[in-house]
Amino acid sequence: MAMAKLPSRWRTAGAQALVFALVGLSLMWIFAVTGAELRSRGIETGFAFLTEPARTALANAPFAFTAGEDSNALALLAGAVNTLKISALVIVLASLLGLGLGLGRLSRNRLLRGTCLFYIEMVRNVPVLIHISLCYALVLALPAPRESQPVLGMLVTNRGLFLPTPTAEPLWLISGASGIVTCLILLAIRRRGGGWMAGNLVLTLLTIAAMALPWLLSGRSPAMSVPQIAGFRVNGGLSLSPELAAIVVALTLYTATFLAEIIRGAIQSVPRGQWEATMALALPGGTVRRSVIYPQAIRVALPAMSNEYIGVIKNSSLAVVIGYQEIVGIGNTVLFDTGQAVEVMAVLAGFFIVVSLGFSGLMNLINARLSWGDR
Amino acid sequence: MSRYLAATETDARPAPDRRRTLRQILIEDFFYGPGAILCTLLLCALLAIAAWKLLDWALLDAVFGPTETLDASQACRAEDTEGACWAVIGDKLRLILFGLYPYDLQWRPGLACVLMIALYALSVQRALWRPALAGIWVVFLVAVLILMRGGIAGLEPVGDDQWGGLPVTLILSTFGLGLAFPVAIALALARQQRRFPMLQAASVGVIEFARAVPLVVVLFMASVMLPLFLPADWQVSKLLRVLIAFTLFGAAYLAEVIRGGLQAIPPGQYEAASALSLTYAQSMRDVILPQALRIVIPGIVNIFIGFFKATAIVVVVGIFDLMTAAKRAVADPLWQGFGIEVYLFAGLIYFVFCFSLSRFSARLERDLARDRAS
């Protein structure tokens, strides 16, 4: 009863001090135990290992990396670049596939609707790890480079995916510039309104024509580096290793199903009155969707979609299962080479926290730009 | 006045017939325009080709077991077989389902799986949503532990390093969720309240940390760092360490769902509770939580589905769950190269669980929305 007579402010402060002391004591105990444990194993604590040379070579380094010369920090940086590479590819590809699936789920065509629903239910109820292992097994079951036939200049083999790429050629710069300028001029005309305006199809065709013009004038065919089979190897073009191809394809197929459901829900959340209002104004279908429905749907979808995108960044760490060296895989290697468990885990956790928070900050910014404010 | 009333009574008409003829359905749903006709025909062709190829691979050309001259794995590797090799499933079924559990005792993990599935079947009955459900969970989970561990009632003891396959997947997700639930409620309440800012900050820190870091990293922390944090003579088995990591990780996600439910309770309920001079504990236990938890049950089921799928990730720290068992089956030199069949089979098991749970969650959401509307 003596407790009850104290002013509640003091009781609150007392309780807080108690919690704080308990947490502090258990942390101190953990530090003491850990320190003793590490000393008994002969491990120096601290981040000095980051500047020491890495002992193990990297399989998929995005830049030149020599084991024994370059530091552990550089190895982890290579892993971070690979993580972001996977994430960026998956976010772009999954958004496109997810948009297609989401719109397909809303189609009037029952066959299309059913096919999309079937795909979504089949894929999203299976762990992403099964998809990754399955994709990897599928890639390894593809024909060897010698036995594969190029499709549109692409090679799909058990040594990875090979895509044709433009070569470094000054004419590409002129071609790109002419395309961009043409596109911008046409858009400006369209924005001014009145008189002649280019539709989407005409705009695309004219832009492509403007890009082709420099090549036609110079009388050469566009300079591309097409993958060529040379014995057991493939030369030229852009190559994706089997591991990278498997993880990107699997994460794309999996993430797209969640994005599709978000997009479908967002479009369905636009009140029916909005559709009816556009009908009352006799707006054509394309205009309705572009300027009335989608702008409202995107504002609903964006927060959920940015959660999915952060999920992609976190899921990219599952590449460790098929041996693709992203930051968690390399962190593991560094951990086994140096024994600095606590520090390596701190680096990994710190990386993901910074990337997650940074990404959600970016999405909040976009969200704020898009939102109409409180009404 | 009578001028405004109808003089004669109108006969009741039957409801308009909404049924459509097959022809109408075809025209209205499949062939309503040039684009739709093209799309339908194209999809039909694509689906037919895909279905034929799949049938060819999975059934017509498949190898289901040994032939007269060849044993099963030779039959799968024969030159003229192009199809699936389901013989690998037949040969490795017990390994995939029960891992390295002693072969003669595998009825015990089998029964444990049945018990846990029965527990799910009970938990989805709305009539059973009362505090006694927590008791049912405790009884079932203790029974599962006794079956798996043995050591009493004449059951031979089996160490948890020998557990494997489906029961481990079920144990990780069920025990993980069961243990995470009280932790999640505590975290959600700590985050929701305003009286102890320090406690609130700690709760926010734990939740946001667990949600920002991938499960793989949390599992590595549990298997590499946890032994360093504990005195050397404390033996914590690998499975238990992973279960602890799972519990904390799941609790963070669950806490956010529960917090959503707490926020959805109208302030009048909180005020009514304090007007009755209920203490904080009483008002939470008797007024707020029963309502809040009921609202978020679909969300909890969705978290559980995610949890169930996420257990596959324990493969990276070497816990013998369903996913690891599948990988181990493919690692046998006899069956190397038949990963597609094994992963499809394991995927099918995951699918059966996740799909039925997601159907349940969707139906529940509809029912709850209807109840609220009426």
In this structure, what CATH number is given to the domain that contains residue A140? 1.10.3720.10
Give residue A71's pLDDT: 85
State whether A349 and B213 contact (CB < 8 Å).
yes
Look at chain A and report how many structural domains it folds into: 1
Per-residue pLDDT band for A24 (boundaries 50, 70, 90) equals confident
CA of B237 vs chain A CAs: smallest distance (Å): 18
CA of A375 vs chain B CAs: smallest distance (Å): 21
Residue A160 falls inside a structural domain: no
Residue of B32, B211, B315 with shortest CB distance to A108: B32
Residue of B43, B209, B339 with shortest CB distance to A111: B43
Give residue A375's pLDDT: 45
Q: How far is CA B192 from the centre of its chain?
A: 27
Residue A122 falls inside a structural domain: yes
Residues in chain A: 375
pLDDT greater than 80 at residue A201: no
A-contacting residues in B 182-201 (Cβ below 8 Å) = 195-199
State whether B202 and A23 contact (CB < 8 Å).
yes
Domain that holds residue A324: 72-146+241-370
State whether B30 and A19 contact (CB < 8 Å).
no
Q: Structure tokens of B176?
A: 């993980």
How many whole angstroms separate alpha carbon B35 and alpha carbon A109? 10
State whether A125 and B313 contact (CB < 8 Å).
no
How many whole angstroms separate alpha carbon A212 and alpha carbon A253? 34
pLDDT tens for each residue of A176-189: 888 899 889 888 88
Q: Structure tokens of A258?
A: 């969640």
Per-residue pLDDT band for A363 (boundaries 50, 70, 90) equals confident
Give residue B113's pLDDT: 92
Residue of B197, B309, B340 with shortest CB distance to A127: B309
State whether B323 and A318 contact (CB < 8 Å).
no
Q: Which of A111, A253, A338 to mutate against chain B (most B CBs within 10 Å)? A: A111
pLDDT tens for each residue of A64-80: 787 778 888 888 999 99
Is B321 strand, coil or helix? strand
Residue A314 falls inside a structural domain: yes
State whether A15 and B340 contact (CB < 8 Å).
no
Residue of B199, B209, B354 with shortest CB distance to A16: B199
A-contacting residues in B 315-374 (Cβ below 8 Å) = 315-316, 323, 326-327, 330, 337, 339-340, 343-344, 346-347, 350-351, 354-355, 358
A288-292, A293-297, B163-167, B343-347: which has the highest mean pLDDT?
B343-347
Residue A178 falls inside a structural domain: no
Residue of B216, B311, B339 with shortest CB distance to A320: B216
pLDDT greater than 70 at residue A194: no
Residue of A133, A345, A356 with shortest CB distance to B343: A133
pLDDT greater than 70 at residue A1: no
State chain A's mean pLDDT as an integer.
Answer: 84
pLDDT greater than 50 at residue A2: no
pLDDT tens for each residue of B253-296: 999 999 988 988 888 998 999 899 998 889 988 888 888 888 88
**A63 lies within 8 A of chain B by CB:** no
What superfamily would CATH give domain B92-373? MetI-like (1.10.3720.10)
Q: How many A-B residue pairs are in contact by the CB < 8 A criterion? A: 146
Give residue B193's pLDDT: 84
State whether B355 and A125 contact (CB < 8 Å).
yes
State whether A356 and B212 contact (CB < 8 Å).
yes
- A345-372 average pLDDT score: 87
Give residue B54's pLDDT: 92
Residue of B47, B313, B358 with shortest CB distance to A125: B358
Give residue B343's pLDDT: 92
How many whole angstroms separate alpha carbon A341 and alpha carbon A346? 9
pLDDT greater than 70 at residue A374: no
- CA-nearest residue of chain B to A37? B228
Domain ranges of chain B: 27-60, 92-373
Contact between A339 and A43 (Cβ < 8 Å): yes
Label each residue of chain A as H, E or C: CHHHHCCHHHHHHHHHHHHHHHHHHHHHHHHHHHHHHHHHHCCCCCCHHHHCECCCCCCCCCCCCCCCCCEHHHHHHHHHHHHHHHHHHHHHHHHHHHHHHHHHHCCCCHHHHHHHHHHHHHHHCCCHHHHHHHHHHHHHCCCCHHHCCCECCEEEECCEEEECEECCCHHHHHHHHHHHHHHHHHHHHHHHCCCCCCCHHHHHHHHHHHHHHHHHHHCCCCCEECCEEECCEEECCEEECHHHHHHHHHHHHHHHHHHHHHHHHHHHHCCHHHHHHHHHCCCCHHHHHHHHHHHHHHHHHHHHHHHHHHHHHHHHHHHHHHCCCCHHHHHHHHHHHHCCHHHHHHHHHHHHHHHHHHHHHHHHHHHHHHCCCCC
Cβ contacts of residue A102 below 8 Å, gap of 6+? A259, A260, A261, A262, A263, A264, A267
ipTM score for this prediction: 0.86
**A55 lies within 8 A of chain B by CB:** no
CA of B9 vs chain A CAs: smallest distance (Å): 36
B-contacting residues in A 308-367 (Cβ below 8 Å) = 314-315, 317-318, 320-321, 328, 332, 335, 341-342, 345, 348-349, 352-353, 356-357
Q: Is the dihedral of CA B121, B124, B129, B133 positive or negative?
A: positive
Segments of chain B scoring below 70 in pLDDT: 1-3, 232, 374
Give residue B152's pLDDT: 80
